[in-house]
Homo-oligomer: A and B are copies of this chain.
Amino acid sequence: MSCKTVLASKVSASFRDQIKKDIKERDIHPKLVGFLANEDPAAMKYAEWTAKTCAETGVDFELRKVSKLELEEKITEANEDASVNGIMVYYPVFGGKQDLYLQSCVSELKDVEGLCHKFVHNVYHNIRYMDKEETMKCIIPCTPLAIVKILEFIGAYNPVIPYGNRLYGRTIAVINRSEIVGRPLAAMLANDGAKVYSVDINGIQLFTRGTGIHLKAHKVEDTDATLEQVIPQCDVVITGVPTPKYKLSTSLLKDGVIAINFSSFANFEDDVKTRASIFVPSVGKVTVAMLERNLLRLYDYQNNLTEKNKQ
């Protein structure tokens, strides 16, 4: 079989090495606080990974277990505590709209997950800097960012094309349109030039920057297309369906497809490697590396070390 399986640990290794080196050479001690307010075993596992990775790279990670009802107050305290450089929350907490409210309660300067309204808004509008002077790059939501980094690693981005358009010519499906991962991811890939089919149970939307990528940022259109029509066209298929029952039929995949799964369940069938050129079974370790990367960036912003000041 000619399919190459790429593990998240392989993709994350160079990021982690760089972060470790940076922290050591600069002799800094960035502190990340993770709030756990649920009993979700997936969140606990993710917290354990975060703790382990942070310990290895020199980040001071502290897990704070709190009740749902005291979480907002604890976030506010951490926002105001100068010894805390980054804040993350293991979602879901309440599970509905109240979680989106909580995401925006984290201070912009400490939001390592990139989930507050400003950062998400900037992703949709292809705004890449926090400030008008363009000295502070925006924080990008971690999981979508991790998937972009994986796509770069495995060659889906074409470095010959100018920066910002490097997915031009690519057709990508993202099966998941959550506010935390799927929708921002579809927007980011379209902003980078791809034609993106965003799939969820309510239907399929098309995210593009238009013919000849003539738009500055993507637009979204509803389509009547079915999964059966769309998937065979796609160079890259990215799945994130949060149930063990969902399996995308291998028979729909284009021969030589790049298949990436970010769900904690296996969304591709066991025989996916008979069709795929590259298969990435999970992304979690890259997500944690991106968390740390965002933390270092925010550490610098908090200490006024913007790109301008560093020069």
Contact = CB atoms under 8 A, between A and B. Distances in A.
A66 to B, nearest CB: 13
Given A104-B117, A117-B117, A121-B105, A222 B98 contact: no
Interface of A is mostly: helix
A179 interface: yes
A121 B101 CA distance: 8
Interface string A109-122: 00000000100110
B69 A101 contact: no
A84 interface: no
A308 interface: no
23 contacts: A69-B205, A69-B219, A69-B220, A69-B221, A72-B124, A96-B97, A96-B179, A97-B97, A97-B99, A97-B100, A97-B178, A97-B179, A98-B179, A98-B183, A100-B100, A100-B101, A101-B117, A101-B120, A101-B121, A104-B104, A104-B117, A105-B121, A117-B117
A183 to B, nearest CB: 7
Contacts of A117: 101, 104, 117
Interface string A20-56: 0000000000000000000000000000000000000
4 nearest interchain CB pairs?
A: A97-B179, A104-B117, A100-B100, A97-B100
A222 B179 contact: no
A101 B205 CA distance: 18
A179 B96 CA distance: 9
Nearest to A72: B124
Contacts of A98: 179, 183
A101 B178 CA distance: 12
Given A69-B220, A104-B104, 12 more contacts: A69-B205, A69-B219, A69-B222, A72-B124, A96-B179, A98-B179, A98-B183, A100-B100, A100-B101, A101-B117, A101-B121, A104-B117
A64 B185 CA distance: 30
Contacts of A178: 97
A179 B101 CA distance: 9
Nearest to A205: B69
A179 B100 CA distance: 10
Contacts of A101: 100, 117, 120-121, 179
A121 B73 CA distance: 12
Interface in A102-157: 104-105, 117, 120-121, 124
